Structure 1
Amino acid sequence: MTTVSDASTSSPVNPVLATQSNDPSFANIWQELKWRGLVHVSTDEQALEELLAGDPVTYYCGFDPTAPSLHLGNLVQILVLRRLQLAGHRPLGLVGGSTGLIGDPKETAERVLNPKERVNEWVGYLRGQIERFLSFDGDNAARMVNNLDWTAPMSALDFLREVGKYYRVGTMIKKETVAKRLNSDEGISYTEFSYQVLQGMDFLNLYREHGCILQTGGSDQWGNLTSGTDLIRKVEGVAAHAIGTPLITNADGTKFGKSEGNAIWLDPKLCSPYTFYQFWLNTSDEDVVARLKVFTFLHRDRIEELAAKVEAEPFRREAQKTLAWEVTSLVHGEDATQKVVDASAAIFGGGDLAGIDESTLASATAELPTAAPGLGAAGPVGIVDLLVATKLATSNSDARRTVGDGGASVNNIKVSDVEATFGPDQALHGRYLLVRRGKKKMAMVDLQR
């Protein structure tokens, strides 16, 4: 199997990196991380603050390839990597080619093991995503590493003798997720039980090879994070550190980063820029300030200004619009974000639709009502049939009245002739008809569907 090594990056440079900076109003990066709500649990706080305020240190965060894309929970960790890099420290982005073959234990059930070839493919996908958020230039240039590179050559006997002997089963079974699984009907396999040992070995290897002394991750990974710090202390006699970020939840207690049961992925093929932008735009007033702190590089004075506007003028939703622009630009680029904004204005504001590219148009109108397949199979479709087929009108007579009263439009052009017909020549991209009744009722017809 071909693995991804820690060679220099070949991914395109993200121009947004050049605009990012930490907030100079804080005494140090530790204070900024605390203010942004990014520290839920950690090793010695005072030692960490002194460490991060001093000379550059090497630190890492790991990402397992359990899917072909990272999601918003992973983005929290990536941005912590970037904030520490902006403070002068040296990041290692680890993609788990070996740990991804096993899977971090879930609280509910055993993971399904993915084929090795698929995991290796996903390693490449995740590496490319992570690289876009880090700088690979300068004295504190980032490096990418793959734990399969040092795990694969090791025999089972070497693993047990050189690493396993430092672990005590009594301590391992007290880890929160392991304890829950042991008390469940499902139980836990030795494979998943060993995950924390592998992650600890990663930290030890990175300490030896790169002088890495800090690991970051989600607070739900705390047992795995401290597995590494404990191992380094036992083997090398060195105090390594860990930071666990809080799990992000919404103000109502629901899980953050889910949209109708689906994760918000960073890959535009799995979650379009339009859907991504709308997710952030729909952030509640109760959550938007916290999201600005975690997911943007806006400084404290600007976030406090937006917080005041949430209180004084919530109907303007300036904080949500700013959040949506900042995060979508960060992940998908400013050009893609501007296309999304323009598409929303054209569709919901009645502007010119002709300039919207096909993929953005399809994403922006995906949730609109439509007609049954085959409506345009027999040739151009009349306006009356369009209104009835999309249920914007209850009957032919209702549709005719709507047209006669000036309440019907197709692709934002008012239709006044009840005999008007529409085919590919009048359709957007040769196939789409945005049918509207009044200002708010809309449907999208795909003539090729």
Structure 2
Amino acid sequence: MKKIIFFIVILLSSYACVNEVALPVIATFSTEIVVNDKTVPVKVKIINSTEGADTYSWTFNGASPATSSNRNPGTITYDKEGTYIVKLEASNRDGSIDVKEKTIKVNSAINIGFETQVVENNFSPVKIKITNTTVGATTYDWFFEGGVPSTSTKQHPEDIAFTTPGTHNIRLKVSNGDEEYTLEKTIEVAPLLSANFEYAVAFEDDDYQVPVKVTLENKSISATNYQWTFEGANITTSSTENPEIIFNTPGTYTMQLKALNSKSEKTISKTITVYENTNLRTFTNIKLGINTAHKNNHIGAYFSTQTRKVYTQSKVNNTIGSKIDIAFFGLNETFNFNKFISPNKVQELAFSAIPNATITKLINKQESCGCSSSVSVTNFNAMTNDAFLTSLNVDETVGGLTEFDNVEKPRIVIFETADKRKGVIKINEFVKDGANSYIVIDIKVQKEAN
């Protein structure tokens, strides 16, 4: 009996000793950045792997929620950049406690941006002012295509210059250590300054006989100002972009253009030669069709010494009609009946009437006109000015208006326009081509009546 009681006492003693040993707590947890996005808002998943604990006290400084007593608090959110502590205090019924802390770094969101401003103007060399508006970045890498310098790591780079004309890229790459973003913009450098111009004389002055009116077409590139100087013209200088000038005296003259912008200047010169005014205009190898060629709109029978063009019947309107000086009627391809007629009388020879037609005096057959003046082929060929025409009397007679055939070649026909300009036609050829037969003529006529 005593042995049994002793055994029980020993057993109870042993049991009391076991209860006095507390179960330890080992606090441990891990964090996971959701989708690895470390810029605000940052979501952090808490994974608790603590052992031996019954209760949990979480503190999330700067996060939402700020605290939790759940074993697994789930996901917390940080809305502001900074460095934060996640703290876990775990305990059990035996009074065991363990504390674990982890640091969370939250970066601000990157908002990349920059502005470029051309200093003064975009003529080479171009200086660029850069305003960096990026927020949330800690490093900056600039690339200036064609620029000097070509790269920079400054937050606000300065003194960037471009000299080569064309489009240039400016690229910024920024990072906060975890993420990086790139933004690219372009700037334009204007072409290099060049001075150039073309000139054209007025339509009526294309023989370059004085007075000659000249229009200058400025073709300079990247210029903002122009300084013209003219030798021998009615004006000696001009600052307009496309001036007009007049040369009144024969000679060879220099026209000079200095093109400028705020950074450079270029100069170019050209010469022009103008001649004495002969008051004689010459047309060669003019084709005038017989009546079928004219009516079929293949080769016209009307000619204007003002527009210097041949017109078929369908091309004549009210404006053109008043400018026609010469009308030819050829009956057929045999050329046995031909005559030049006044524009106001073409309807008498199977043509439609010319609107606003004028009167031209004509001598088709000098041998039948009984006129006091006559013109030979030699006279025609020798004319280099209008002196001969000035002394010519154009006496229109019935005989002089008579038709002619193609036997005599060359044949001379004399005329005087409605505005009193005298002229001579030389028929060089009668060309047979069926319904499209035609004559080939030269004409010498006064530019202005005396």
| Greater strand content | 2
Q: Please give the range of the TM-score, normalised by the shorter of the 2 chains.
A: under 0.3
| Greater helix content | 1
Of structures 1 and 2, the one scoring higher in RCO (CA 8 A, sep 6+) is 1
- What TM-score do you get using the length of structure 2 for normalisation? 0.21
- What TM-score do you get using the length of structure 1 for normalisation? 0.21
